[in-house]
Structure formats: C-alpha cells, structure tokens
Amino acid sequence: MTDNIDILHRKLLITILLMALCSCGGRRPVSPDDSKATVTRFDLDVFRYPDMDSAARNAFRDSYARVLPVLLMNTAVSDSAVNAYANSRAVKVFTPDIMSRYDSHDSVEKVLGAIMAAKHRLMPELQWPRMYGIVSPYNQSIIMTDSIMLIGLNHYLGADYEGYGYFDSYLRHIKTARHMPYHIVEAVLAGSHPFIPDEKQTALSRMLYEGALLKSIEMLMPGFNLADALGYDSAQLDLIKSHEADIWNTLIAKRLLFSTVATVADRLVNPAPYTSIIGPEVPGRAGRYIGYRIVDSYLRHNDVTGPQDILSSDFYNSRNTLVKSEYSPR
C-alpha cells in the first residue's frame, strides 16, 4: 500500500476517484436523517467471502452491487474477481489489524453524525454519499462516486502502525482515526465543489480555494482542530503561526501569489514534508494555511451566509477577495 490523500487535494489530502457507474441506476437519493452516520463494514463481510457457499456469494454480490464495480474497477463483477480480492495480500494482511483497532466505529460515526447535522443546517442541498469501510489496495484512502464513498480503513491504523514504517513522518502522522472525518468531509466538499480555475489561474486562487475548503470543514465540524485539518502537529502549527507574516512577505517578494505556473500552486498547497518554494524550515502546505487565514479574515469583515459562498469560483478566482479580506499579518 502506498499513499495518500491527495483527497483533493485534490488532487483531492486524501485523492478523490470519481467514476461514472452507468449500470448502477443513477443517483441514489440521500436520506435527510441529520443525526445518523453509518459506515457499513464491507471489509468485514468480504473477509468471509472465501468461506461462503455459492448462494451466500450471490447474495453478497447483490448486496454490494454498488460497491464492487467501484472497488474492483470493473462493472462486470464475477465470483472469481471478488474471490481474488478477498484472497488478496492486502485483505489478508490488513483486515485482522483493522478488526483489532476498529472494533467499534462509534467515535468516528458520532463526529460524522454531528457534521451531517450541521450540513443540513448550512448546506441542505449537499448530497452525502453512503459510506462503506473497505481495505483499499490503491493509493487513495477515499474513493467516491456520486452516491457512495469507500473509506480505506487500512489507511487509518495509527501513526505507530508497523506497516507504515516506510512512509515519511508527515504521511504517517495523518494515518489516524482522528484524521478520518477531516478527509471524509473534504472529499465530499471537494467532490461537490471542485476547483474551477478561470482562464488565468493564479496561485492565489488555488490558495483561496484550499482555504475555503478548510474554513467550510470548520463550519461543519464541531471540535474542529486546525492542526489536524492541515496535517500538522501542534509544534508545526505554532511555528507557522509565528512566521505567518514572514511567509506572506516571501510570497510577495518572490512574486508567487499571482503566478500562473500550475506547479507553483501545487508546491504551495500539496502534501509535503516542507514548503520548499518558501523555505526548508516551513511546514508543508503553507499556502493552504495562508489561504485559510485570508478566508478567515474575509469572513470577519464581510457578510457570508455559509460554505457555498466561499466555495464558489466567483469567490476564489476574484482578486477583490484578497482586498475585501483586509488580510494583513503582523
């Protein structure tokens, strides 16, 4: 298993895989239940697939008719294909560890339930997918279609998990249960409100979009923690806060804000051990942090009704957003 979210990050810190499932009957209406969030444990059911008789296997494939084509990347789901997945090394290795570390999803589902309640107040039009826990054999920890979300529980076994030893520390740090809700919400928001650049996309517009995602997550998530949302530890957050003005001045001095070179924006906002384009001592995704701070300042100085306003391309593609934010770090 490699990594990672590059969920929008989008390549989407957490990557989002969008697929069209023509054979699955179109968009499924999402329940308006604003207090219940259930993660269906596909991972536990498929682990037993090799021991099932033919009738049970048929029933399993019928039950997970929406999940299997996405997971296996093949709309023609056969018994042999499902059996091969169930007997794969990833399933055999990770499922016992998932069982021991995720004997209950109550804490994660409680957070997600609170988020969905806030979603119904602030973004009632937002479609929330049905969620399934899986063992993901892919780099993505979150895989989405328009109606379902597959959550790779093997990506969230804890920073100390033995199987993550070969990952860089900045990647191991986010492989925890507490980071999972952030990645899930971001995947939903980025899937419903993808980044739409104008004809002259700038690094600033990308930073504002990333900041709008973070601020929207904060609006929806009780107990929001900025360090967790950014993938930082507390020391990294303290460091970037204390050097915010220096980082901003560097962005201006190096003429990075209005750069139209796509790789500049990527280096500012994508997951990395540090933001090399600014300096080797600056935590990764510094542009995302600055974007969040600009959006936060904008909200304090302007009337905004909810996340849909700041996730609009009219917001993050406009240079007036920076002016109206009155952002001026010291």
Q: Which of the four pLDDT bands, split at 50, 70 and 90, describes residue 142?
A: very high
Query: Is 171 in the same domain as 280?
Result: no
Domain that holds residue 63: 16-192
Average pLDDT over residues 266-287: 97
pLDDT at 3: 41
Q: How far is residue 48's CA from residue 62's CA, in Å, rounded to a whole number?
A: 16
Task: Name the pLDDT band for 162 (thresholds 50, 70, 90).
Answer: very high
Query: What does the angle CA 304 – CA 196 – CA 224 come to, to the nearest 5 degrees?
Result: 50
Question: Is the pLDDT score of 314 beyond 80?
Answer: yes
pLDDT grade for 11, boundaries at 50, 70 and 90: very low
On whether both 186 and 237 belong to a single domain, the answer is no
Decide if 22 is inside a domain: yes
Judge if 179 and 208 occupy the same domain.
Answer: no
Distances (CA, A) of 61 to 56, 97, 140, 204: 9, 24, 23, 47
Q: In the chain, how many domains are there?
A: 2
CA distances, 26 to each of 22, 39, 126, 145, 147 (Å): 7, 21, 17, 11, 8
- Boundary-marking domain end, from 127, 158, 192: 192
Which of the two residues, 53 and 15, has the higher pLDDT score? 53
User: Is position 6 within any domain?
Assistant: no
**pTM > 0.75: yes or no:** yes
Given a cut of 60, is residue 102 above it in pLDDT? yes
Least confident segment among 5-19, 59-73, 194-208, 297-311: 5-19
Say whether both 100 and 209 belong to one domain. Answer: no
Q: Give the model's pLDDT for residue 125.
A: 93
47 and 159: one domain?
yes
pLDDT at res. 105:
64
Residue 260 counted as domain residue? yes
